[in-house]
Amino acid sequence: MKQLIKDYLDHGISRRQLVSGLSALGMSGVAAKAVAQNLSPLGPGAAEAVAAAAPVAIRDVEGNGGALFVAQLKAAGVEYLFFNPSTGDHPIFDALVDVPEIHLIKGIQEGAVIAMADGYARASGRTGVVVVANIGLPNAMTQMVNSYKDQIPLLVAVASVDQDALGRDQLQEPDHPELMTEPITKWFWQMQSTAAVAETTRRALKFAATPPCGPVFLSLPTNTLEQRAKAQVWERSKFDVPMRIRPDKDDIEKAARMLIEAKNPLISIGDDITSCRGEKELVELAELLGAPVAGLTGGLGYWSKPFPTRHPLYVGALLRTMRYPGKPDVLLNLGNRFGEIASPGTRLISIRLDPTGLARGAPVDVAMVADLRLAMADLSDAIRSMAAASRLKAIADERTARAAAYSKQMHDEREALARALADSTPVSLERLGLELEANLDRDTCYVTDADSGKTMDALMSFGGDDKPYFSTSPNVLGWGMAAGFGVKLARPDVPVVSVVGDGSFCFSGPQPLWSMARYKAPVTVIVLNNHSYNNERNRIWNGAGRQFEAARDMTCYLGDPDVDYAKAAGAFGVEGETVKQPDGLRDAFARAKSAMVEGRPYLLDIHIKREGLGAVSEWYPPYSVADLRTRKV
């Protein structure tokens, strides 16, 4: 067997001959293929690689820096490399020729590459791995802000110039490009040698995926990728130790006692729960207490909906003054970045995954850093052990009945409001919200970076057995379509819809559609085309400044030129259509669905009514460059 492998490594025999030779020696077909694959990044002359044939967690490998990088990614179980190529990173792609386990996903603008990886990471819980050109790094950084703020694990790498050339005013590289990423990464590093490639890659993967997660950045000087070295690669389990932190027992008991004694508790929820996959434990805890649950609403500040929004205990936005349940005597903040609200007469318990976000803006009575899933499970256990089940149930039943009456009243009221606005042309967001709720399958992943389009959220159901919700808390636009692709990649067996504003579409441009077309990703893209930065104008005018006074929208009208998004999609290989009438929605959804069933993406450019201050205005400051000319050239 040793001889067989040596022959293969010295190019004496082909991969197929190796596999059949190994099978002849009694190895199963799968194992033989695995051996062949394990050998593949090594290149010629690496006889030590014989050791690698055995399925061990730590292996010695030899190869150039690109091969070592890829070998370490593969050992860590990385499935996808999201990329846009440059010259310097060729050793990485050379190595991938022989590593079929890692699939290449190409994006044609770096922001889209990051957002695809980010969507994949949010939906899969795995780290998104990205390689882009050093010169394109600033494009990537726009979208890295979303990942950083939402603590999404990404490894972003670029090939930089040779170490010899660093600091020599190279054309395509500023000095210390890695420093650019400092404010939006958990960690950044410039590779010092080929021998360090595998180890540093491991470290990067570890930092990215250790909660609170986030993007990390590696700058790989081209010579470190081209030169050869020996190194170890480790399986993920050897370096990526789980960080499931249990809260302190005494703190949990204190919190449990406060919650049992509370007359009017309120739970505020946030994205930490989603990051810790604690949705089930949240429902259990809320139901045990009969405590109403409030989350963020509005355009910004959250990226997920960890509690079923049609649960009777869900009472909507967390406001300073809650109509129901009124002033809480105990506020339990579970992983909500903005959920620590201080108020005399309210005691605050706050549990966060991220210690830097704890007790940051308001005085906290009991503060815990913990994995939210474990903390909620411990809290439920402590409550059950400290109070009789019958007493808990009586309290919970009574509170739940009151919360249910309130949440039903608000639900019915919102539906009635929306129905009253449902027949306008262009289509109202209220109508579209009702239609989406009626037409989308319950397990549809709803991916959005809409702005005013978030008004529809209140008319739809998310979380629990309903649609998983994906957005970004800073809403750096141009994310939605690419992230929709990433979510579909992570969850190919559920429908995915990506809902973006016309403004948002233009921040990414149609480039994410290119990847959908190339990789046959059946995603329905909905463009909320209100011909405006509608909510931006509302926010600007809400300051009641000169633009409001004079009713002159100096900045936000988009309708001239009137962009045809369906046509733009067509140019990038994605079929689409324009919907101008509310009555046309259902058939359009049906056509989108058939395209998805057939394995194709589809785009709906829906003309949407503008709403709010100055919405009627189509005026913008006129100017004509053609008129400046004194010669018609």
Does 475 bind ligand TPP (CB under 6 A)? Our answer is: yes
Residue nearest to ligand HEC (CB): 612
Amino acid letter, 153? P
* Burial grade of 389 (CB within 10 A; 0-12, 13-18, 19 or more): exposed
512's tokens:
């994410």
Residue 492 preceded by cis peptide, ω within 30 = no
Contact residues for other proteins, defined by CB under 8 A: 296-301, 315-324, 338-343, 361-363, 409-410, 413-414, 417-418, 420-421, 430, 454-455, 458-459, 474, 536, 539, 541-544, 548-552, 611-613, 616, 618-619
Q: How far is the CB of 135 from ligand TPP (least distance, A)?
A: 20
- Only one residue has tokens 């946030």, namely 270
Q: For residue 140, what are its two tokens?
A: 């990537």
User: Among residues 21, 270, 486, 501, which is the contact residue for Mg ion, using CB under 5 A?
Assistant: 501
Least Å distance, CB 454 to ligand TPP, is: 8
Asked if 538 is part of the footprint of ligand HEC (rule: CB under 6 A), the reply reads: yes
Do the beta carbons of residue 176 and residue 500 sit within 8 Å?
A: no
The minimum distance between CB 612 and ligand HEC, in angstroms, equals 3
CB atoms closer than 10 angstroms to residue 629: 9
Single residue of 298, 326, 361, 545 touching ligand HEC by CB under 6 A: 298
At residue 319, the 3 state secondary structure works out as coil
Taking CB under 5 A as the rule, does residue 478 contact Mg ion? no
539 interacts with ligand HEC by CB under 6 A = yes
Q: Are strands 58-64 and 228-234 parallel, antiparallel or unpaired?
A: antiparallel
Region near ligand TPP per CB under 6 A, out of 230-238, 318-326, 382-390, 525-533: 525-533
Is residue 49 part of the contact set for ligand TPP (CB under 6 A)?
no
498 interacts with ligand TPP by CB under 6 A: no
With binding defined as CB under 6 A, does residue 238 bind ligand HEC?
A: no
Binding mask 396-435 for ligand TPP (x = CB under 6 A): ----------------------------------------
* Min dist. Cβ of residue 31 to ligand HEC (A): 59
Asked whether position 614 contacts ligand HEC by CB under 6 A, the answer is yes
Tokens encoding 497: 């819809």
# residues near ligand HEC by CB under 6 A: 16
Q: Which does 625 bind (CB under 5 to 8 A by kind): other proteins, ligand HEC, Mg ion, none?
A: none
Asked if 124 contacts 523 with a C-beta cutoff of 8 angstroms, the reply is no
Does the protein bind Mg ion through residue 503 (CB under 5 A)? Answer: yes
Distance of alpha carbon 106 from alpha carbon 130, whole angstroms: 10
Q: Residue 595: which residues within 8 A CB-CB, separation 6 or more?
A: 522, 524, 575, 601, 602
- Of 178 and 430, nearer to other proteins (C-beta) is 430
Comparison of 48 and 536: residue with beta carbon closer to ligand HEC: 536
Distance, CA of 449 to CA of 472 (rounded, Å): 7
Task: Name the residue nearer to Mg ion (CB basis): 109 or 534.
Answer: 534
Q: Please name the residue that has the structure tokens 């067996």.
A: 493
89, 435, 451, 605: which one binds ligand TPP (CB under 6 A): 451
Nearest distance, CB of residue 316 and ligand HEC, angstroms: 8
Residue 530 binding result from other proteins, Mg ion, ligand HEC, none, given CB thresholds of 5 to 8 Å by partner type: Mg ion
The answer to the question of residue 417 lying near ligand HEC (CB under 6 A) is no
- What is the smallest separation between the CB atom of 617 and other proteins, expressed in angstroms? 9
Q: Show contacts with Mg ion in window 513-532 (CB under 5 A).
A: 530, 532
Q: Minimum Å distance from CB 61 to other proteins?
A: 46
Q: Are 127 and 209 in contact (CB under 8 A)?
A: yes
Closest approach, Cβ 267 to ligand HEC, in A, equals: 18
Q: Which of residues 314-333 bind ligand HEC (CB under 6 A)?
A: 317
Nearer to Mg ion among residue 301 and residue 503 (C-beta): 503
Three-state DSSP state, 526: strand
Report what 451 binds from ligand TPP, ligand HEC, Mg ion, none; CB cut-off 5-8 Å by kind. Answer: ligand TPP
Give 128 or 299: the residue with its C-beta nearer to ligand TPP. 299
Binding of ligand HEC at residue 545 (CB under 6 A)?
no
Structure token digits, residue 319: 């406001």
The answer to whether 551 contacts ligand HEC (rule: CB under 6 A) is yes
476 contact, one of ligand TPP, Mg ion, ligand HEC, none, CB 5-8 Å limit per kind: ligand TPP
Q: Which does 171 bind (CB under 5 to 8 A by kind): Mg ion, other proteins, ligand TPP, none?
A: none
Q: What is d(CA 310, CA 318) in angstroms, rounded to the nearest whole number?
A: 16
Q: Which does 250 bind (CB under 5 to 8 A by kind): ligand TPP, other proteins, ligand HEC, none?
A: none
Q: How far apart are CA 225 and CA 235, in angstroms?
A: 21
Q: How many residues does the chain have?
A: 633
**DSSP code string of 579-595:** E-SGGGHHHHHHHHHHH
Written as six digits, the tokens of 95 are 């190595």
594-613: contacts with ligand HEC (CB under 6 A): 611-613
Residue 110 or 502: the one with the smaller Cβ distance to Mg ion is 502
> Any idea of the CA torsion for 135, 139, 141, 144, to the nearest 10 degrees?
-130
Task: List strands edge to edge, sheet with 314-317.
Answer: 314-317, 293-295, 265-269, 330-334, 347-352, 366-369
Q: DSSP states of 216-285 as a string?
A: EEEEEEHHHHHSEEEEEEE-GGGT-----PPPPHHHHHHHHHHHHH-SSEEEEE-HHHHHTT-HHHHHHH
Residue 272 interacting with Mg ion (CB under 5 A) = no
Q: Which is nearer to other proteins, 409 or 425 (CB)?
A: 409
The strand ranges marked E within 11-170 are: 58-64, 80-83, 103-106, 128-133, 154-160
Residues contacting 614, CB < 8 A, separation 6+: 537, 538, 541, 547, 548, 551, 553
Out of 40, 268, 532, 547, point to the residue binding ligand TPP (CB under 6 A). 532
Yes or no: say if 271 and 306 are a contact pair by the CB < 8 Å rule. yes
| Of 240, 502, 553, 577, the one binding Mg ion by CB under 5 A | 502
Query: Measuring CA to CA, which residue among 78, 79, 113, 132 is closest to residue 483?
Result: 113
Compare residues 51 and 417 and give the one whose CB is closer to ligand HEC.
Answer: 417
Positions that interact with Mg ion (CB under 5 A): 501-503, 530, 532, 534
Positions that interact with ligand TPP (CB under 6 A): 142, 450-453, 475-478, 501-504, 507, 528, 530, 532-536
